[in-house]
Amino acid sequence: MSVTYGLTTRVATVNSHHIELLLQANGRTMNDVFSMLFGVFLILGTAVGIVVISYMVYNAYKYRETPDSEVAERERPQLGELPQGSGGGKKLAISLTISAVIVIALIAWAYIVLVDVEAGAPESEDPLEVQVEGIQFSWQYEYPNGHTTNTLRVPEDRPVTLILTSGDVFHTFGIPAYDLKADAIPGQTTETWFRPNETGTYEAQCFELCGSGHSAMESDVIVMEQEEFDQWYAETGSETNATTNNTTDGSATNNSTANDSTATTTENRLLDGPAPERQLAATTRQ
């Protein structure tokens, strides 16, 4: 598992790459955007911290206790006393204006880059579209050719659009390695995307407490080389119809068997309720 994630990784990766990202107009991924926002806010926050702490230390030194501190006592600002600085509040007005402009500009810029990345994968790069369904307690992926699986296989360096939904309760799909997280809501679809930039096995997890099996609701995300992926995908195409039908029938049978042994007749009817719909939906989507 090559999943590295956390503050240490982020701090270590603030470098010239962020400057390039600032100048890059579009085609940024979630990874890029979050790293960039983190880098910019870390640098500015550090700068503000240095100025404020230096000024505080300077004043602490200036008004320190000295042998002739009786004289200094009279100059020292008293509690509740308004500053007697020159310029009639001009300094205060200027610094407030500059701070406001910087803060508002930062908010606007962060908003624009976030809206831009949330708009979806660049159509020009022909994103691969995968339907993702969260079901207590697993993730099911469906490819454009109808192939369904529990492991997400994607090609390297091609954007992947994920259309998320849930078959039962609220779930949240996330791949920490790609800074990706989006809700999977029953009866609704949510769209998100990422661009896998390195082959390997990553982990997708559920980030919404959804029941007793929540912590085990994870799946592998395998990033493959384009050729390898094409080969795998072509193979899934030939067996698609047979496999999908078998899987759907298989799971439906398993569900009802499990229900029979554990639930009463009434619960059984309730639990069985959504199953035919799901089966129908799966059939229609092909």
**Looking at residue 124, what DSSP letter applies?**
G
> How far apart are alpha carbons 241 and 21 in whole angstroms?
44
Is residue 164 a contact point for Cu ion (CB under 5 A)? no
| Per-residue interface string for the shown chain with Cu ion, residues 207-246, x marking contact by CB under 5 A | ---x------x-----------------------------
Structure tokens at 133: 């369904």
| Per-residue interface string for the shown chain with Cu ion, residues 29-68, x marking contact by CB under 5 A | ----------------------------------------
What is the smallest separation between the CB atom of 142 and Cu ion, expressed in angstroms?
A: 18
Is residue 171 a contact point for Cu ion (CB under 5 A)? yes
Choices 25-33, 40-48, 52-60, 199-207; region in contact with Cu ion by CB under 5 A: 199-207
Contact 225, 155 (CB under 8 A): yes
Is residue 204 a contact point for Cu ion (CB under 5 A)? no
What is the smallest separation between the CB atom of 134 and Cu ion, expressed in angstroms?
A: 6
Is residue 147 a contact point for Cu ion (CB under 5 A)? no
- Tell me the residue length of the chain: 286
Q: Pick the closer one to Cu ion by CB: 154 or 210.
A: 210
Is residue 206 a contact point for Cu ion (CB under 5 A)? yes
Q: Which are the contacts of 143, defined by CB distance < 8 A and separation ≥ 6?
A: 130, 149, 233, 236
> How far apart are alpha carbons 218 and 203 in whole angstroms?
7
Q: What is the DSSP string of 192-210?
A: EEE---S-EEEEEEE-S--
Q: Pick the closer one to Cu ion by CB: 147 or 171.
A: 171
What is the smallest separation between the CB atom of 173 and Cu ion, expressed in angstroms?
A: 9
Listed residue (130, 125, 123, 124) closest to 233, CA to CA: 130
Give the number of other Cβ atoms within 10 Å of residue 113's Cβ.
20
Helix (H) or strand (E) run with residue 221 in it: strand 218-224
Q: Pick the closer one to Cu ion by CB: 156 or 203.
A: 203
What is the smallest separation between the CB atom of 210 and Cu ion, expressed in angstroms?
A: 3
φ/ψ of 175, rounded to 5, equals: -120, 100
Choices 7-15, 50-58, 204-212, 240-248; region in contact with Cu ion by CB under 5 A: 204-212
- Catalog residues that contact Cu ion under the rule CB under 5 A: 171, 206, 210, 217
